[in-house]
């Protein structure tokens, strides 16, 4: 009798599992999951510009890159390393500086400043060394200093590092780099 009860229970469990697996709703969910998995796999990492666009701390930088006409360039193949000043960094410039730079007649000066923040190649924070001079896309060089555990790019402190994009890497800095 006990054996018959166990066999009946096993049969009931098997039938339940079979019924659930044949349920069209379950199959649809599995298909939806498969489609979502494909979408996630096919998405690319953002470009260095898209990284800045997605950051609420870089709206001034995004406006400047747009005003300088550099969006298409920095969305290109690269690789680029961007040292991205925060809104607060731009706010520390003398009053009226940002507004003036965004004027169309100052596009060349703005482009020079922005390309001074960009290096050709994929430079990670670990690649930076004390005393290193780094050549920028603008043609000038900035100096790397490592002191008390902080990395300085000229006088700006590296506050965020190695944000990887499909066409390069972004480092966040707390100051605007001005070509000398």
153 burial (CB, 10 Å; 0-12 / 13-18 / 19+) is: buried
Cα–Cα distance for residue pair 114/65, rounded to 1 Å: 7
In the prediction, which pLDDT does 149 show?
93
In the prediction, which pLDDT does 76 show?
94
Cα–Cα distance for residue pair 119/115, rounded to 1 Å: 8
In the prediction, which pLDDT does 2 show?
40
Greatest CA separation found in the chain?
Answer: 96
Mean pLDDT by 10 residues, the chain (180 residues): 39 42 49 49 80 96 96 95 98 96 97 98 96 97 96 97 96 96
Q: Cβ atoms within 10 A of the Cβ of 115, count?
A: 19
In the prediction, which pLDDT does 179 show?
94
Cα–Cα distance for residue pair 154/168, rounded to 1 Å: 21
In the prediction, which pLDDT does 44 show?
78
């Amino acid at each position: 009798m006990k054996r018959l009860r166990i066999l009946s229970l096993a049969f009931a469990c098997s039938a339940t599992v079979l019924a659930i697996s044949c349920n069209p709703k379950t199959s649809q969910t599995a298909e939806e999951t498969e489609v979502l998995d494909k979408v996630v796999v096919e998405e690319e990492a953002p470009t260095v510009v898209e990284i800045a666009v997605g950051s609420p701390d870089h709206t001034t930088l995004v406006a400047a890159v747009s005003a300088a006409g550099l969006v298409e360039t920095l969305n290109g193949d690269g690789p680029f390393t961007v040292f991205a000043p925060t809104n607060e960094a731009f706010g520390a410039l003398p009053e009226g500086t940002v507004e003036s730079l965004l004027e169309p007649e100052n596009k060349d000066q703005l482009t020079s400043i922005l390309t001074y923040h960009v290096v050709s190649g994929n430079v990670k924070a670990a690649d930076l060394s004390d005393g290193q001079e780094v050549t920028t896309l603008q043609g000038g060089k900035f100096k790397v200093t490592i002191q008390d555990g902080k990395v300085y790019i000229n006088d700006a402190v590296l506050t965020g590092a190695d944000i990887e994009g499909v066409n390069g890497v972004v480092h966040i800095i707390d100051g605007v780099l001005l070509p000398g």
